[in-house]
């Protein structure tokens, strides 16, 4: 069917890099899904059926990883031998963390502000902008590819983890506000 | 996963939540964060002339275990010298709160926070 030892980029036949063609990724995903779809192996032997199921799982995992900038960056770093999502990883950047603390405080105060939706929109835009800035920086750092660049990329990935969590929390508040209206 | 009674107690009634003047010379501020869960923790100590921690405040955005770990730690460090506070180990926090293995990293974060606060205080003293 296909080679299970390939990495996700090889599986999708795309160059291993942070910047990637998302339309081509989606097309390749649909093609691969057809190849491994369990329906195609309904009349095949048990072994082929099991392989097709494993193939479909792998293709889905690969797609989920490659289409998400944070997961893609983490995966790229792992391919290069840098582990970035360990439980005991801590970020030592007081200025960034101070800013995160302030943004979380601002989010906590949104509900009691005069214009909750307006304050939340401002906050969501600000967090969204910060995430885009990290994505732009990651593109440059992975292009650069030097060991020092990859260490900085790992820090950038850590920052994105905080920002994504914060963005998800802000979206949860937005859903709450929508319900209250 | 069930939280222990001690975690729930600290989570529902956190001790010493608040902020100290981070620009004051006798205040040390520790900021730490865990990317894996997005937790952010600020722990501050106010130190008197004898080098004893006379007040401690914290603010934590994170799960119950992270809040409980930092809340407990602020209780423990009050009245301790900097050397004594530095010797507190995350394993003691985890044991006191009966943290399950998957939550031990929360106590690591608290230990990192007190060490960062002590380092910040000492850098202000110029030694």
What is the share, in percent, of chain A residues with pLDDT greater than 70?
96
Q: Does A173 touch chain B (CB under 8 A)?
A: no
Q: What is the pLDDT of residue B60?
A: 95
What CATH topology corresponds to A94-180? Answer: Monooxygenase (1.20.1280)
- By C-alpha distance, the chain A residue nearest B112 is A90
Q: Which of B22, B31, B43, B120 to mutate to test the interface with A (most CBs of A within 10 A)?
A: B31
What CATH topology corresponds to A8-67? Answer: Helix Hairpins (1.10.287)
Domain ranges of chain A: 8-67, 94-180
Task: Read off the pLDDT of residues A106-164 as tens digits, 9 standing for 90 and up.
Answer: 999 998 899 999 999 999 999 999 999 999 999 999 999 899 999 999 999 999 999 99
Q: How far is A101 from chain B (nearest CA, A)?
A: 7
Q: What radius of gyration do chain A's Cα atoms show?
A: 20
> pLDDT-based confidence at A51, cuts 50/70/90?
confident
Q: What is d(CA B51, CA A104) in angstroms, rounded to the nearest whole number?
A: 32
Residues of B in contact with A92 (CB under 8 A): 32
Q: What is the pLDDT of residue A85?
A: 64
- Contact B71/B1 with Cβ under 8 angstroms? no
- Contact A35/A51 with Cβ under 8 angstroms? no
Helices (H), B1-127: 5-12, 64-77, 82-86, 90-96, 104-125
Q: What is d(CA A50, CA A60) in angstroms, rounded to the nearest whole number?
A: 15
pTM of the full structure:
0.85
Q: What is the pLDDT along chain B (127 residues), one digit of tens a residue?
A: 578 899 999 989 999 999 999 999 999 999 999 888 889 999 999 999 999 999 999 999 988 999 999 999 999 999 999 999 999 999 999 999 999 998 998 999 999 999 999 999 999 998 5
- Contact B120/B29 with Cβ under 8 angstroms? yes
| Token representation of residue A26 | 């989606």
Residues of B in contact with A88 (CB under 8 A): 105, 108
Closest CA to B58 of B74, B69, B81: B74
ipTM: 0.82
Q: What is d(CA B79, CA B96) in angstroms, rounded to the nearest whole number?
A: 19
Residue B31: which of A98, A157, A158 has the nearest Cβ?
Answer: A98
Reported as half-sphere exposure (CB side, CA atoms, 13 A), residue A18 has a value of: 25
B37 catalytic residue (yes or no): yes
């Amino acid at each position: 069917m296909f080679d299970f030892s390939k990495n996700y980029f090889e599986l999708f036949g795309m160059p291993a890099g942070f910047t990637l063609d998302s339309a081509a990724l989606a097309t390749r995903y649909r093609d691969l899904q057809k190849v491994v779809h369990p329906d195609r192996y309904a009349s095949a032997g048990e072994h082929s059926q099991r392989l097709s199921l494993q193939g479909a799982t792998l293709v889905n995992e690969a797609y989920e990883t490659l289409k998400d900038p944070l997961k893609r960056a983490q995966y790229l770093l792992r391919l290069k031998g840098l582990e970035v999502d360990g439980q005991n990883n801590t970020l030592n950047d007081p200025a960034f963390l101070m800013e995160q603390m302030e943004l979380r405080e601002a989010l906590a105060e949104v509900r009691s502000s005069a214009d909750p939706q307006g304050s939340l929109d401002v906050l969501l835009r600000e967090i969204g902008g910060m995430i885009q800035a990290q994505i732009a920086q990651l593109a440059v750092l992975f292009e650069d590819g030097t060991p020092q660049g990859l260490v900085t990329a790992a820090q950038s990935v850590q920052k994105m983890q905080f920002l994504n969590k914060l963005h998800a929390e802000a979206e949860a508040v937005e859903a709450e506000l929508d319900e209250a209206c | 996963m069930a939280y222990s009674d001690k975690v729930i107690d600290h989570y529902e009634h956190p001790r010493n939540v608040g902020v100290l003047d981070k620009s004051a010379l006798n205040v040390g501020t520790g900021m730490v964060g865990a990317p894996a869960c997005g937790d952010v923790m600020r722990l501050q100590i106010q130190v008197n002339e004898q080098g004893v921690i006379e007040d401690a405040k914290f603010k934590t955005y994170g799960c119950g275990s992270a809040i409980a770990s930092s809340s407990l730690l602020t209780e423990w460090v009050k009245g301790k010298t900097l050397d004594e506070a530095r010797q507190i180990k995350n394993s003691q926090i985890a044991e006191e709160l009966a943290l399950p293995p998957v939550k031990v990293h929360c106590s690591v974060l608290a230990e990192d926070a007190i060490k960062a606060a002590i380092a910040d205080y000492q850098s202000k003293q110029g030694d």
